[in-house]
Amino acid sequence: MSKTTIIASPQLGDCAPYYFTYIDLVKEADIMELLNSQIEELKTFSAKVEDWDYRYAPGKWTVKECLIHVIDTERVFCYRAMCIARGEKGSLPSFDQDEYMRNDFSHVSSADVLKDFIAQRKSTIALFNNFSETMWNRKTIVSGSSTKAHAIPYIVAGHHNHHMTLYKERYKI
């Protein structure tokens, strides 16, 4: 796919209605440009973080854990996008974000988490840049709902926007 190809915004029926919680947070016309700009946004944000182990309430994720969650989610959605785009006919499973976050991440530095985000996002962009129009329009069942590949970049970007808002509102960063 050419980097100048426009990826159509998802419409109802292109994915589970729940994902419009994230998709509706994306207002930019060029989703690939937004995905790229979010790298710089996160770099700027990370420079403001004073305590990566801060929790805004007991039992809530730390700043670092929240970013690890964003990375994990992006990886899962990229896998789903690749499967859909390549023509997977089988149903793709859901994942339990809370189970993923039950792991101990104290050994991971904030610098390494930031590097991981940047590497994952560049990989995401590279993957998406290689999809053809046909691939973007393919669909399969994801977590019990029909999902088109072209919905996934919007979900990824909107999920990022959602967590950036949480960082501002709940973590006061």
Q: Which two tokens stand for residue 166?
A: 């949480």
Share of the chain above pLDDT 90, in %: 95
Closest CA to 73 of 169, 131, 159: 159
Tens-digit pLDDT profile for residues 94-148: 999 999 999 999 999 999 999 999 999 999 999 999 999 999 999 999 999 999 9
Instruction: With cut-offs at 50, 70 and 90, classify the pLDDT of residue 29.
Output: confident
141 forms bridges with which residues in the sheet? 146
Write out the DSSP string of 104-165: --TTS-HHHHHHHHHHHHHHHHHHHHT--HHHHT-EEEETTEEEEGGGHHHHHHHHHHHHHH
Are the C-beta atoms of 147 and 139 separated by less than 8 Å? yes
Asked whether the predicted pLDDT for residue 5 surpasses 80, the reply is no
pTM above 0.85, yes or no: yes
Question: Alpha-carbon distance 143 to 155, whole Å?
Answer: 14
Question: Alpha-carbon distance 15 to 18, whole Å?
Answer: 8
Domains of the chain: 17-169 (1.20.120.450)
Are the C-beta atoms of 22 and 34 separated by less than 8 Å? no
Closest CA to 101 of 70, 55, 56, 77: 70
